[in-house]
Structure 1
Amino acid sequence: MQYKSLKEYGAIGDGNTVALVGRDGSIDWCPLPHVESPSVFAALLDADRGGRFTVQPTGTYESAQRYRDRTNILETTFQTGSGAATVTDFMPVAEVAESGDQPPAVYRKVDCEDGPLEFDVEFEPRFDYARDIPEIEPTPDGVVAAGSDEQAILSSDLPLTPSADGHGVNATATLEGGETRWLVLGYDEAIPLKPSQHQETLAAVTDYWRKWAHDCDGTECPVDDRWHDLAVRSSLVLKLLIHRETGAVCAAPTTSLPEDLGGVRNWDYRYNWIRDAAFTVRALSELGHLEEARSYFELCLDHCRHHDPAALPPVYGLHGGGDLEEQVLDHLEGYCGSAPVRIGNSAREQHQLDVYGELVLAIYESVRYGEPVTADDWTVMCDLIDYVCDGWDEPDASIWETRDDPRQYVYSKVMCWAALDRGIKLANAADAVPAPSERWKTCREDIREAILERGWSESANSFVRSFGDDDALDAANLLVPVVGLLPPNDDRVQGTIDATIDRLATDDGLVYRYHGDDGLPGKASPFTVCSFWLVTALALSGRIDEAIGRFESVLKRTNPLGLLAEAVDPETGEQRGNFPQAYSHVGLLNSALYLSDADGSSDASPAPLGTDGAAGIDSSTEIVRQPNDNE
């Protein structure tokens, strides 16, 4: 069987998990009950063995997908020679579930607008990444698929009978114009078939998403009209990827989608990376999603509370667990034959110095938006920043999690500088709390001098990937002006931007991550978030026309639903890597915010992230919350 392009998928979810639904009406990926759980459908990773749940017209058809306006409810429309129909896919979020203890569920509503139209239903669940093939048995309202220790129950008012081999359902039914049918999949528990109640649930879910989605409502909006709808869609994607119980942001809901077809750069991204923190907090806060930003802020503090700073992992399970042992699933062929298929992620064991800056930046940003820390948390933060003073000059694996020997990566040092800089700013604003400010200031200057002396290459006229490199570039250094190490108009910032455009960027606006070996064979595709970093650096520099041109070029890479993967194939333009990718959508949102801050003149200069030019941190800001008598 063939594999679909990522442009043919939409995503639905409930705050616990995410499913990918193809334009052909097939659910090809769905882990249950959580996004980091084993898959129930995984045709995305093995078209023959992975399992799927398909609802589509019999024979030839044309199809298209759209989201119901300002929601994560997906509508797939089908047109045939005899009729037309729409399949509406959604998951009820806990706030509007039909019962408080409802199990995870996927609802599929089939509306036949013009008939007669014959539909095929294919239901082939394959538990535990297709290692457990269930037995299918009929029930009064459908079928139950029973595995060794889990089950999926499909209820429907369409006629469903098990296939001859007992491992699936292959059914056909004809709908007349005006008819509606339901298929409701419950995990471990059945969802009773009640069409009128399901319709009420759909209305409630629609209302939930529309109330959550950013809406300017006639007020001043932080995002320009040109990019407003894509920004709203990106925020809705982020909401799908935010775990409802913990506030953790899932980097992507998939595993092992390759950066390069046939290559081995296939990773499991169903976890929370600290590197996403500061930019996610800013994007959510600017769009008014303060509850989600607050939850992520608390999660960042929790990381600080429960780990020795010297052993801070860069990635966590969405429930906070640390067992991310990397395994290879040899029985799955991989997307388009791109093996290996991996679960778990050994980046958990890496030492990455950039995470300290990203954590402190996230906390600083949260304080800017009105979330003070407690006195106890301030003490923990001081310990973290003190560790940066002791360990900033160690080699590490970098933001890109290279799998060769550790190096003195320049971006890692930049983020160590940022940790100290924001710690000093918080301490200065909260003069009632103790902090070794003089030590921090001395170390901050030492790091800055090291970056400027050892991380800058005169021959490349750019910051380079690691100390001692002459010409190997790293797109992460585009963030130097964003975090405020140097002002955007500094010649070294401009040189780095120009060198990146000349040597890491493609003609149509895409940007590769870096030059040089990383311990892995094969090649990587241009990384989507790096393309947005270039846009942001240009916007901060006042090079607005260039920034807009590159931004709009990258936006053309979104799929028809406005979704972005991790990377883009430079030759075909196809999206590559895990999908949809939180980091890509966070990059889109922040680029849109920075561009919208600019006035369009040649000397426009929006404020870098959390610097003194940005509103928020001053003597009136509550930095450290004092406990009241009830605490």
Structure 2
Amino acid sequence: MTESGAYPPIEAYGIVGNRETCALVAPDGSIDWFPFPHLESPSILAAILDAERGGRFRISPADSFETDRRYVGDTNVLETTFRTDDGTATVTDFLPPAGRTAHPKKVLYRKLTCSDGTVALELELDPQFDYGRAETTIEPVESGVLAAGAEEQALLESPIDLEIDDGQVTGTLSLEAGDTEWLLLRCTGAEDAKTDPDAALDETIAYWTDWAHSCAPEDDCVFEGPWHDQVVRSELVLKLLTHAESGAIAAAPTTSLPEDIGGVRNWDYRFNWLRDAGFTIQALMNLGTADEAAEYFDWFMDLCQADEPDAIQPLYGLHGDPDLEERELDHLEGYRGSRPVRIGNKAAQQRQLDIYGELLLAVDEIRHHGRELDDEEWDRIRDIVDYVRDIWDEPDAGIWEVRGGPEHFVYSKVMCWVALDRAIAIAVDGTHDAPLETWRAARETIRRDILENGYDADVGAFTQSYGTDALDATGLLLPIVGFLPFDDDRIRGTIDAIEAELGRDDVFVQRYDGDDGLPGEEGAFVLCSCWLIDALALSGRTEAAQSRFESLCSYLSPLGLIAEEVDPETGAHLGNYPQAFSHIGIINSALYLGSLRGHETPGPAPMGIRLGDPVGLFEEQ
């Protein structure tokens, strides 16, 4: 097994991409993760999953060095600056966004510049196609070297002489102050696709700068605060994970980064989960990215119209692929020995009843921003709601996709209630025909059942599932989605119990304290930490909420990125990285705090304010 020191901390990585795929760049200038041509495709480089056999593309000084890293302004162009005893050099990494520049999107650009002194750099390219399963050939060509697997090719254009030895490409070059060189990894293998690297860089920077959220000092920005820059970075991460062709948003760009180092909690997150829909649309709309929100909405509405309600899956591939068969890559050791490495995700075949309520939240959210449903879309919404009315009282796998068997999860029941509640509101407010009396009766039946079986008076809180006293952070969402108001004693008790039992160090929150059928323990879930911030703010404890939020933002990586989870004891990031849902949580928490401080949102009031009947407004400090 490779020593753990061969693996940088997860939070040490930067990310670049072209809205079709992404690459993770380590502090030593090594690209350790690069699936191609799409995020869910097999990898060309995967040293993050096996330091010896995964493959990497490294450019770093030959001598000892210190590293500084930053993004170029509000862009996804990454600069890694090396400082040695003899000089300073910078590697600038990027891919041109798909369909947004005149330059080939399937080219990974690496610009090498020296700003002072002299720096000797080493190059190492070790391509391993198809997660290292394909036989790789490498041969010299006029412009560099051409590597080929069973189906894909990668052409490295290099200004320096390269050596090929035992499947690896190596080379050295020395830069003096003022020198600039370019290395291009063309992932089509086409030598005749000419490009101007400097123009590609300028246009890529211009694209991201023009797209990112910006506001003038005189603007009443709802995201105003010490977290404003973190919100913008979170927005840029979401855009990077949004597929240019479909509008689908990947949960993360990686697979099998562990929730428990050395354990088995390793999952493939390069897919889109429908449960993210409502909160994602809220975040995108309030950032002013209405086109992205609309494309995302249209994408999952098309999926829902293509399948009958009982066939709608919790997650899909970024092109709508429903077949996400889960397999294990036994030849890879996993990040720091965390095995198995998985591709695909078996949760796609689970029954998760909460997804219907989350879909209706998304429909309701976007209609408040002016998007009306057509007759065909409403017909499918009616089908979904009628289906929920028939099956709400059945067990399921729940939002957390536990693998310990179906249960009567409280949150799943609540989201079935939400599906009916939001559908009723949409029908009443619009001109859509609906069996309102039948729906209202079903909504009340679900509500009574949840209050009778989902609330434990001895615990003083809503529990994870019927018949247990285990807590679940999803209880924090009950008032946000409008099930009960924030000043209800049962909601107050739930918030207090979750803070006391699942909270860690006044910053983090665990997902739950029940058995999920898997060995090992995970870190604190970043999104749940955001949910507690939201619940505290909306229930009148705004100072505590702001303090928690500022503390949480301090755990973002130096580049402003965050994984699915954080180890409360060490601050190390855990799970796939960067995680879309974590960044959505950052955006929405800033949105709630800004709204409660009296800043105006660009559209309707956020969900928790519109539906949840919050307690009071924030008093400016």
Instruction: Show the counterpart of 2:150.
Output: 148
SS in 1 for 2:86: coil
Opposite residue 59 of structure 2, the aligned amino acid is: V
Instruction: Show the counterpart of 1:134.
Output: 136
Instruction: Show the counterpart of 1:455.
Output: 454
Instruction: Show the counterpart of 2:177.
Output: 177
Q: Quick one: which of 42, 45, 64 aligns to 2:46?
A: 42
Question: 1:210-229 maps to which residues of 2 (within 5 A)?
Answer: 210-217=209-216, 218-229=218-229
SS in 2 for 1:225: coil
With 552-561 and 90-99 compared, the bigger mean Cα shift is at 90-99
Structure 2 CA distance for aligned equivalents of residues 49 and 326 of structure 1: 21
Q: Quick one: which of 577, 580, 583 aligns to 1:582?
A: 580
Instruction: Show the counterpart of 1:483.
Output: 481
Opposite residue 118 of structure 1, the aligned amino acid is: A
Shift of 1:613: 5.8
Instruction: Show the counterpart of 1:618.
Output: none
Question: Per the alignment, do residues 553 and 191 of structure 1 end up closer, same or farther by CA in structure 2, a change over 3 Å counting?
Answer: farther
SS in 2 for 1:256: coil
TM-score by length of 2: 0.95
TM-score by length of 1: 0.93
Shift of 1:565: 0.2
SS in 2 for 1:115: strand
With 130-139 and 539-548 compared, the bigger mean Cα shift is at 130-139
Shift of 1:362: 0.6
Q: CA offsets per residue over residues 415-445 of structure 1, 9 Å max, x none?
A: 1111111101100011x32111111111111
Shift of 1:227: 1.4
Instruction: Show the counterpart of 2:163.
Output: 162
Shift of 1:607: 5.7
Q: Does 1:267 align with 2:267?
A: yes
Structure 1 CA distance for aligned equivalents of residues 309 and 610 of structure 2: 27
Instruction: Show the counterpart of 2:597.
Output: 599
SS in 2 for 1:107: strand
Q: Quick one: which of 13, 17, 26 aligns to 1:9?
A: 13
Q: Is the 8 A contact 2:146 2:189 kept in 1?
A: no
Question: 1:501-520 maps to which residues of 2 (within 5 A)?
Answer: 501-520=499-518
Opposite residue 197 of structure 2, the aligned amino acid is: H
Shift of 1:97: 3.8
Question: Per the alignment, do residues 274 and 496 of structure 1 end up closer, same or farther by CA in structure 2, a change over 3 Å counting?
Answer: same
Q: Is the 8 A contact 1:41 1:53 kept in 2?
A: yes
Question: Per the alignment, do residues 509 and 103 of structure 1 end up closer, same or farther by CA in structure 2, a change over 3 Å counting?
Answer: closer
Question: Per the alignment, do residues 110 and 72 of structure 1 end up closer, same or farther by CA in structure 2, a change over 3 Å counting?
Answer: same
With 348-357 and 433-442 compared, the bigger mean Cα shift is at 433-442
Shift of 1:370: 1.3
Q: Is the 8 A contact 2:486 2:612 kept in 1?
A: no
Opposite residue 509 of structure 1, the aligned amino acid is: V
Instruction: Show the counterpart of 1:399.
Output: 399
SS in 1 for 2:156: strand
With 387-396 and 566-575 compared, the bigger mean Cα shift is at 566-575
Q: CA offsets per residue over residues 315-371 of structure 1, 9 Å max, x none?
A: 100000111000000000000011100000000110000000011111111111111
Instruction: Show the counterpart of 1:356.
Output: 356
Q: CA offsets per residue over residues 257-287 of structure 1, 9 Å max, x none?
A: 0101011000000000011110000000000
Q: CA offsets per residue over residues 501-558 of structure 1, 9 Å max, x none?
A: 1100112411110111111111121111000000011111111011011111111111
Question: 1:290-301 maps to which residues of 2 (within 5 A)?
Answer: 290-301=290-301
SS in 2 for 1:226: coil
Instruction: Show the counterpart of 1:627.
Output: none
Question: Per the alignment, do residues 284 and 545 of structure 1 end up closer, same or farther by CA in structure 2, a change over 3 Å counting?
Answer: same
Opposite residue 318 of structure 2, the aligned amino acid is: L
Shift of 1:191: 5.8
Question: 1:197-212 maps to which residues of 2 (within 5 A)?
Answer: 197-212=196-211
Question: Per the alignment, do residues 168 and 98 of structure 1 end up closer, same or farther by CA in structure 2, a change over 3 Å counting?
Answer: farther
Question: 1:523-542 maps to which residues of 2 (within 5 A)?
Answer: 523-542=521-540
Instruction: Show the counterpart of 2:382.
Output: 382
Instruction: Show the counterpart of 1:87.
Output: 91
Query: Percent same amino acid at aligned positions?
Result: 52
Shift of 1:194: 6.6
Shift of 1:84: 0.2
Structure 2 CA distance for aligned equivalents of residues 553 and 362 of structure 1: 30
Opposite residue 165 of structure 2, the aligned amino acid is: A
Q: CA offsets per residue over residues 226-263 of structure 1, 9 Å max, x none?
A: 21110000000000000011010100000000101011
Q: Does 1:313 align with 2:317?
A: no
Instruction: Show the counterpart of 1:53.
Output: 57
Structure 2 CA distance for aligned equivalents of residues 202 and 501 of structure 1: 46
Opposite residue 529 of structure 1, the aligned amino acid is: L
Structure 2 CA distance for aligned equivalents of residues 103 and 561 of structure 1: 24
Opposite residue 148 of structure 1, the aligned amino acid is: A
Opposite residue 181 of structure 2, the aligned amino acid is: R
Shift of 1:219: 2.7
Instruction: Show the counterpart of 2:619.
Output: none
Shift of 1:612: 4.7
Opposite residue 281 of structure 1, the aligned amino acid is: I
Opposite residue 457 of structure 2, the aligned amino acid is: E
Instruction: Show the counterpart of 1:116.
Output: 118
Q: Is the 8 A contact 1:484 1:611 kept in 2?
A: no
Question: Per the alignment, do residues 612 and 115 of structure 1 end up closer, same or farther by CA in structure 2, a change over 3 Å counting?
Answer: closer
Q: What 5-or-longer segments of structure 2 have no aligned partner?
A: 614-621
Q: CA offsets per residue over residues 18-50 of structure 1, 9 Å max, x none?
A: 100011100000000000000000000000000
SS in 2 for 1:23: coil
Q: CA offsets per residue over residues 432-482 of structure 1, 9 Å max, x none?
A: 32111111111111111111111001111110000111x200001100111
Opposite residue 64 of structure 1, the aligned amino acid is: D
SS in 1 for 2:24: strand
Shift of 1:164: 2.4
Q: Is the 8 A contact 1:301 1:363 kept in 2?
A: no
Question: Per the alignment, do residues 103 and 551 of structure 1 end up closer, same or farther by CA in structure 2, a change over 3 Å counting?
Answer: closer
Instruction: Show the counterpart of 2:617.
Output: none
Q: What 5-or-longer segments of structure 1 have no aligned partner?
A: 616-631
Q: Is the 8 A contact 2:255 2:267 kept in 1?
A: yes
Shift of 1:8: 1.2
Question: Per the alignment, do residues 610 and 532 of structure 1 end up closer, same or farther by CA in structure 2, a change over 3 Å counting?
Answer: closer
Opposite residue 76 of structure 1, the aligned amino acid is: T
